[in-house]
Structure formats: structure tokens, C-alpha cells
Structure 1
Amino acid sequence: MSDPFIALTLLVLLIGLLAAGVWVAVALTLVGLSALVFFSNAPAGLILATTFWGHSYSWSLTALPLFILMGEILLRSRMSDDMFSGLVPWLSRAPGRLLHVNIFGCAIFAAVSGSSAATAATIGRMSVPELTKRGYPESLILGTLAGSATLGLLIPPSIILIVYGVATEQSIARLFVAGILPGLMLIGLFAAYVAVRAWMNPALIPTIDEKFSFWEKVKASKRLIPVGLLIGGVIGSIYGGLASPTDAAALGVVLATVLAFASGAFSWRLFFDAVMSATRTSCMIALILLGAAFLSVAMGFTGLPRNLATWISEMNLSAGALLVALTIFFIILGCFLDGISVIVLTTSIIMPMVAAVGIDPLWFGIYLVVVVEMSQITPPVGFNLFVIQGLTGIDILRIAKAAFPFFLLLLLGVVLICIFPQIVTVLPNMMGN
């Protein structure tokens, strides 16, 4: 049978299973079994058992549930409220005023949660009622929240970067460091957009009568100290070479727990809830990764990735042309799947193509995450849209419309890291191996 026929058959089967509501992990496993049984002579049962066993333990993957647990603890503690209160005095006179709380609040929380959905839920729970009460336009409230919450996928410690690192055998520490400058770039783009909108139409932004002296701002900043300690402890230990991402994740859980209890608004009951929620999320991701690993091995036995890479190289397709095609492909795929599923579904097929045209897999990981960020705010399966809809009860299409300018800013971010790849590579190169 020809490779296009095999690929099309497996793709139709996968889409059919997902459309029928089958769990992503189960769908991946069934497609892998079908590939082995019908399109190879390999022993399907033996490969399934050895792949699941071999990929069920990974020191790198240990960081995943720990970072998820850290985010769940913060979600239930008072530190998120303190962070909001500490930012307000500093941003009350900026162009766009308190809308920047959404942007910088999401950026800070992203740096300690690693999750886009957790960032949207936590910051949205605080900011949406407050900004609505103060008279800020709904479109900018929802847009800044939806767009900025996607930073949870990029700013380290990012759960999705751990998944990519495990799936492609890249250094997770180097991926974390590579995500710092692109994350700051996106924060700057979002803040600049809000400032430009405020300058173009000052009537959009309510005035603030309350004035803060410099010392009042400094006093309010004390509330940012716990979050700052947490970010410094986690990211600093990785960047300084003092700890691996897994060690840093364990440190983050300990620091988050101590600081949460010290805040006085945390209990063992909330800690238990955080552990159970983190366990459920971690098990879901682990099952998806096992299914993806099995599918990747199965695809190897069919010879599709190798033949596809050969086909790409024979086409003499430039790296730029491939990236344009992949960007369109990932945006469309992201309309129907969550970010982690997009990455685990595609890496076994895409990475040989990427290698064939000489694209750095480290750079490609950051590019892929930024593109996946775009999918978080595209209907019908934009996770951030669902989270914000659950918080506000507003129609998801209205939220998507409000988020569209930030979709375009993320697309601009993709263009910028393609033109200036040093934005991604300069810090990892300074860090070394």
C-alpha cells in the first residue's frame, strides 16, 4: 500500500474516534494498534506492552505533576489576591490603567502555575468583577484576559514545554530558558496594544480618582514578595544551574505550600483538594503521553515518518515555506484539540520534517508553543474561551471576538521569532548545555 493511503486511513480513523468522543489517549492507542496490525508485520501486543512500560517512568516527566500541584495550591491560596492588590497602585496611571493588571497579573501567575487555564481562572476571578465594576469596556477586559492567559503555556515553568521536551527528547531546562524572552516580548506586545487603544480613544478608559504616593506603592508591593520569592526560587534555581526542572518543581511545591499556609487563608482541606485536582490532571496528561508514545513507535514501524522526511527533502522546501504551512496546519488543528494533544499528536510526524530542513528543534519547540497559544483563543475548542465563559457566563463567540486582536498579536510574535530566531536562542546559548 502507498504511504498517502496509509496516512489518510490513519488520519480518518483518528478524526473519527475523536469526533465520537473517545478519549484522546485511547484514540491514539487504537490508531497505533491499527497501524501495526494492518500496515506492518510487527507484533502489536508486544510493542504495546513494552512501549507503555518503557514510557511510564521518566525523571523529566516527574516535574509535570509537581508544577501542576504548585499551580493548584496557588489557585486556592490568598497569594493571587495579594498579587492583584500589589499591582494596582503601580498601574493606575499607565495608558490603559488597570487593564494592564490582566496582562501583568497573568504573566506573573503564569510564571508560577505553568498552566494557561489556571492562569485564566485565577486572574479572571479577581479582575473581571473589579474591572467591570469600574466601567472598563467588556471587549478589552475579556480580550486582555484571554490573550494574556495564554502566557501560561510559554513562560516557564510551562507544562506544555515539559510535554514537548519529553516527547522530542529535548532539554527541559533549556526549553524553559528559551521561553523567557519570547514571553517578555508577548507581554510587551499586549501592553503596547492596550496603550495604543487608550491613546486613540481616551474615553474607553475610566479615570481613577484615587491617587497613590510613591511610598503607598512601595507598601502595596510588599504583597508581591511571596510570589516573587516563588518565581525566584523556581526559575532562579534552574537558570543558575543549581537544580534540574524536576528538583525546581519540588522546591516550588514546598515554597508554595509554606507561603500559602503563611498567608493565613489556606487549610489542609484546600491542600487535599489541590492534590486531588493535580492528580486528575497529571493522570490525564500521562495517559495522553503514553498513547502518543505508542503511536509514534507504531508510525516508525510503518515507515511513514522516514518516508515523509525523504519526501520533504526531495521537494527542496525551504524552512520558511514549511513553517508557513505548519502554522496554518497547527492553527486549524488547534481549533479542535487542546494544546497538549496537538503536540503529542503531531511530533512523531512533524519532527522528521523539521530535521530535514535543518530547523533547530529547541527553537521549534518555542515556535510550536506560541502557535498553540493561538489555538487557546480560537473557537470551537479554545480552552481559555471555555474557562472565561464559565467565569462570566458570556457567549463564547463574544469572548472569541474580544480575543481576536490578541490572536493577531500572537501571530505577530510568531513572525518576529521567525525573523529574529535569536529571541529564542540567545539565553539557552548563554546557559550552555
Structure 2
Amino acid sequence: MNPLTSGLLVVIALFALMAIGTPIAFALGAVSLAALVINRGMPELTYFGETFYDSIAEFGFVAIPMFIMMGAAVASSPTGRDLYRSLDVWLARVPAGLAVSNIGACSIFAALSGSSPATCAAIGKMGIPEMRARGYPDGVAAGCIAAGGTLGILIPPSVTMIVYGIATETSIGRLFIAGIIPGFMLAGLFIIWTIIACKIAGGYGDEAARAASQVKRTLRQNIDSMVRVLPFLAVVVGILYTLYGGVATPSEAAGAGAFLCIALAVIIYRMWQWKPLKLIFRDTLRESVMIMLIIAAAEIFAFALSSMFITQTLANAIADMDVNRWVLMAVINLFLLLAGFFLPPVAVIVMTAPILMPIILNAGFDPYWFAVILTINLEIGLITPPVGLNLFIINGIAPEISLRDVLLGSLPYALCMVLAIVILCFFPGLATWLPSAMMG
């Protein structure tokens, strides 16, 4: 059987397992194990456990649970509430100001938590009911939160950037900085579309509706809310400084950030009881184990494909394409987009980044610029079916909005992400200038 046929059968088996509800890590592991046994015989079982362990026995991966703990501490505290209410007041006179404040809150909260689902849940629980009460269209209310939540994997600190850096042996600090300008550019595109969508729909909370709102904040209360948020923002700035300044490794910076965020949550929001702290550690453990299992299973899956010469054949086929390098990039983008429709970002990065990196470098593309392009492609997958994690999170916290309305409201934001990719292709300096200026 030729490698391409074998690869097709492996992919069909993987999608079949996921279609019946098998968790992604177990689906990857089962298909990989079956492929290895069929291709190389029963002795391969001897090396399965060793390969599984070695794939995550990398010191750099220590940063992942630490950044997750940092995000869990922020998500479990009222930081999102204070951030949301403060921006609501400051942006009161901006057209569609409440929806714009939600996107702004998502952008900042994404930097604090580094997690798209956490950002969606934290801001959406407050933002969606308030927008609906003030007359915003359901699609805009749901779509701006679902799209804003995707910024969690682009604006640093980002777990997916850590995984990409380890998988491709590139600088994590430089990757973090590369995502800053594209992240806020993407937030700006979201804001522009939100204002246009509200005007097309003919409604967004005017001053009368806003005055009638139950949430009335004085200037002093607003300032107090911002003061409580600023220390958390200072932690993120400090982490970025230590990374690009060479003061600490990503694992050390992540550990310090996790400790400081928990300490700030305890001191500022009086989270002294064991119950909220237990929730922080529980959420950290759950998400960390899930991500590490996916990484390990994806590594075995990649090893199985390589042992069957599937990846080599595919890589050679792409590399041998006698086309312009931008046509090659378009093919790669389409491939990443399709992969993001079905697989979580971490799995896509672990399986594809090591294969695509030599092709990207041979074509003359910058690996840090490509990391941003790859991440935006995976962001699109978070708000598009069939997986669309953020869509289901929004539907879960706002069940009164149908999944159809959530999807239709989110699709224009996916087009904004496509536009961002096009802009980055014309102006790659948006991703490469800041890392070069700060790190040389």
C-alpha cells in the first residue's frame, strides 16, 4: 500500500473515532498504536510507552501548566468583571460602545489568561446579557465575544506559542512579541466590523438605554475597578520584559507569573478560602493534563505517520510543487484552515509545525511571521464548525441565543481573520518588526 493511501485510511479512522465522541488524545493514541502495530508488528508495543513519555519529558513544557495556572487565577477572580465594567464606562460615547468594550475586555483578558475558552466564559457571562438588554442584535452580542475570545491564543502569553516554540525550536520570547501587533490589529478589525454590523442592524444601546441600565457606575467606582486590574496587567508586562530581556527562561517567568497572579487574587479580592483556591488548582490540573495528553498523543501520531513515510511523501509533494512561493503559502493556509476545523490548536501545531518548518524556511518565509499566520488560521477554527469550541461555550453561557445565530454572528469575524492574514502577507513587518527591534 502506498503512503498516501495509508495516510488517507489513518485520517479516516481518526475522524471516525472523533465523530463518535472519542476525546482527541485517545483518538490520536488509538489510531497511532493501530498503525504502528499493523505497519511494524507487535514489538512496536515495547517502545510505545517510552515514546509517549519522552514526547512530554521536555523542560520547556513546564511553562504550560504555569501559564494555565496564571490564567485560572485571573479567570476565577472578579478581574473580568472589573475590566468589563471599567471599559464600558470609558467607551460609553463610542458608537456601539458596549460591544466595543467587550472586544477590548476580551483583548486585555486574553493577555491575562492566555486562554480562549476562559476569555469567552469570563467576559461573555457579563457582556452578552447586558448587550441583549440594551438592544444589540443577538448575532453581534454572541459573535463579538466568540471572536474576541480567540485572541487568547495570539496575544501573549500564549500556550500555543509555547508549544510552537518547543516543536520548532524557536525562541518563545520572540514568538510572544511577534503576536502583540497582529493581536491588536485583529482586535481593531473586530471593532470596525462590530460598529458596521450594529449600524446595519439598526440598533445599539443609545444614551437613553444606557442611562436606564441597572449598571450605574460612578467615576470613583470605575477608577477603583481599574486600579484592581492594573496589578495583573503589570504581571503580564513583567513577564514579557523578563523574556525578551533575557532575565529568565519561559518556565521561570511562567512560574513567577502564576505565583504573583494567585497572590494578587488573594490580596486584592480577598480569596482566602480554600474553595476558590481549590477551583484554581482543579482547573489548572484538568486543562494541563488535557493539553499534555494531546501533545504526547500527537507526537506518537506524527511518529506513526513518519514511520509509514506519509509525512515525508506529503512534505516532498508540497516542496516539489513548481509554483510561486505565495501560491505555496496559500496551499499551506488552506491546509491549516481545514485542520483547524477538526482539531484543537495544540494538536495541529504539534503534528504539522515540524513538517512545515523546513518547507517554510526553504521558501524564504520568516518562522516567527509564520507562527502568527498559523495561529490566526487556528483562531478561525475556534469559531467555525464542526468543532468550533468558542461557539459551544457561547451557546452554553447564553442558551437563549440559538447556535445558528451564534454561528452566523461569528462568521464575519472569521472573514476579518482572513483579512488579517492577507494584510500580514503584504506587510510581514507587522509581525517581525517588534521582535527585531526589542531582541535584535
Letter in 1 for 2:316: T
Match in the other structure for 1:385: 391
Report how far residue 279 of structure 1 moved: 0.4
Q: In structure 2, what is the Cα distance between the partners aligned to 1:118 and 1:306?
A: 37
Partner of 1:204, secondary structure, is coil
1:32/1:348 CA distance change after superposition, 3 Å: farther
Could you say which residue in structure 2 is the equivalent of 1:251?
A: 256
Aligned residue runs from structure 1 range 14-413, under 5 A: 14-40=14-40, 44-197=44-197, 203-207=203-207, 221-266=226-271, 267-393=273-399, 394-413=401-420
Tell me which residue corresponds to 2:423.
416
Query: Alignment RMSD, CA only?
Result: 2.6
In 1, the alpha carbon distance for the partners of 2:111 and 2:304 equals 36
User: C-alpha offsets along residues 58-104 of structure 1, whole Å, 9 cap, x if unaligned?
Assistant: 22111111111111111111222221222222111112211111111
CA displacement 1:363-400 (0-9 Å, x = unmatched): 22211110110111112311111111110102211101
CA distance in 1 between partners of 2:410 and 2:416 (Å): 10
Moved more, 276-285 or 309-318: 309-318
Distance change >3 Å, CA 219–CA 349, structure 1 → 2: closer
Deviates more, 1:27-36 or 1:193-202: 193-202
Equivalent residues, number? 433
Check the 8 A contact 1:69/1:275 in 2, yes or no.
Answer: yes
Structure 1 position 248, deviation (Å): 1.7
Q: Which deviates more, 154-163 or 77-86?
A: 77-86
In the TM superposition, structure 1's runs of 4+ consecutive aligned residues that sit over 4 Å from their partners are 40-43, 197-203, 208-220
Structure 1: unaligned runs, 5 residues or longer: none
Give the whole-Å Cα distance in 2 for the aligned partners of 1:42 and 1:182. 48
- Deviation of 1:287 (Å): 0.9
Q: Which residue of 2 aligns with 1:6?
A: 6
How many Å separate the matches in 1 of 2:39 and 2:354?
Answer: 17
Conserved 8 A contact 1:114-1:157: yes
Write out per-residue CA displacement over residues 29-66 of structure 1, whole angstroms, 9 at most, x where no aligned residue: 23333443334589523432332232232221111111
Q: 1:371 to 1:274 in 2, by over 3 A?
A: same
Equivalent pairs: percent with the same residue?
36
User: Once the 2 structures are TM-superposed, how far is the Cα of residue 201 of structure 1 from its aligned partner?
Assistant: 7.0
Normalised TM-score (structure 2) = 0.90
Q: Distance in 2 between matches of 1:163 and 1:241?
A: 19
**Separation of aligned partners in 1, 2:200 and 2:390:** 28
Please report how far the alpha carbon of residue 199 of structure 1 lies from its aligned counterpart in structure 2 after TM superposition. Answer: 6.0
SS for the counterpart of 1:359 is: coil
TM-score normalized by the length of structure 1 = 0.91
Closer, same or farther in 2 for the Cα pair 1:362/1:48, shift >3 Å?
farther
Residue by residue over 1:283-328, the C-alpha shift from the partner in whole angstroms, topping out at 9 and shown as x without a partner, is 1111111111122223333333333333323222333222222333
CA distance in 1 between partners of 2:110 and 2:312 (Å): 37
- The answer to whether the Cα contact below 8 Å between 2:245 and 2:439 also exists between their aligned partners in 1 is no
Aligned counterparts of 1:85 and 1:204: Cα–Cα separation in 2:
17
